[in-house]
Chains A and B, each alone.
Chain A
């Protein structure tokens, strides 16, 4: 590359390599004194703007959701649940409480909607080592949505005579957690996560679908007498193994 870099290319360089890499741009910037000095100037301009924004930012308010005239009760409760789960799920000591409270609110949401059968009050399971959730399923299909492949861990699904889905987290790390979704639950993990999950499902569940990184890796029927349990490896499911 013989021409000087434009500002757009310099910003590409400043903000890190893009999808296709910035090798040519980097080589030129390293060897061209003019572009190198422009890169430094651009960095300073960028920092000055960041500082201006920080100095003029609004104070973050405390959001009070229930009773807000802008959103309905159902959405307000859902938002509260979301804020609790999304914002504080990673604080280990309060996780179980949050999940229990969140589930309680989720059941209120479901009941308020009037389109589902009333469900029993949700409580956090007490016989788990890390955290856990239990909730009454709304459909006969349960979806377990795993954000990404983990360093290790598995999901074991077994059937019980109970009326609720119970998901217990075993050996959870600091960044592991679960959140309840309308049709199942989501495992909020990371590549470093090592948690395993013990999931008990009631006989009303007919299909269990496990999604990892957006792809359905396992879908199995739970009806009949053949089903006694199933364990799915979260690190090396055939056909979807991560390139490390």
Chain B
């Protein structure tokens, strides 16, 4: 189950929502059978590319749902009651800070950074996010610098 676990961690890091990540992983593996990859080769890049697209779509849907809810009902979406960020920060300060930092950087930079964490080459990352191989290094550097700034990590201390 190596691919499944890795995929779950990637999507959970990407979206910050473990329930959503589990759904995306399920849907990704379902597509492996219903619409398998046309080209042969390692399965991992294909799985991660599909999961990235599904996570993007789910993010857009969620964003729309939130907007509709706020515009028409004035109420929050149903489900668990919203957790106050300060309470959450007290409960799990580090987790909150990392999540916040990941949410602040642009989606594509986040995808690039996290795909790298899962061992993808710059070429594979470029294909997944539709950019050039040469620009991947710059995107990683930019994303990491932003994250460190948000997390208030001292670069000079290294």
Contacts and interface: CB of A to CB of B under 8 A. Distances in A.
A81 interface: yes
Contacts of A106: 33
Nearest to B8: A60
A27 B57 CA distance: 43
Interface residues of B, number: 54
A69 to B, nearest CB: 10
A75 B134 contact: no
A75 B23 CA distance: 12
B26 A48 contact: no
Contacts of B138: 6-8, 11
A87 B21 CA distance: 17
Chain B binding site: helix, strand, loop or mixed by DSSP? helix
A76 interface: yes
Interface in A169-205: 181-182, 186
Contacts of B33: 78-79, 81-82, 106, 109, 181-182
A61 B140 contact: no
Interface in A29-79: 41-42, 44-46, 48-50, 52-53, 55-61, 63, 65, 68, 70-71, 75-76, 78-79
A211 B40 contact: yes
A29 B22 CA distance: 42
Contact of B27 (A19, A52, A71, A147): A71
Nearest to B6: A60
Contacts of A18: 121-123, 133-134
Contact of B148 (A45, A50, A186): A45
Given A12-B137, A18-B134, A79 B40 contact: no
Interface of B: 1-5, 8-9, 12-13, 18, 21-23, 25-27, 29-30, 32-34, 36, 38-41, 43, 94-95, 98-99, 113, 116-117, 121-123, 133-141, 144-145, 147-148, 151, 153, 155, 158
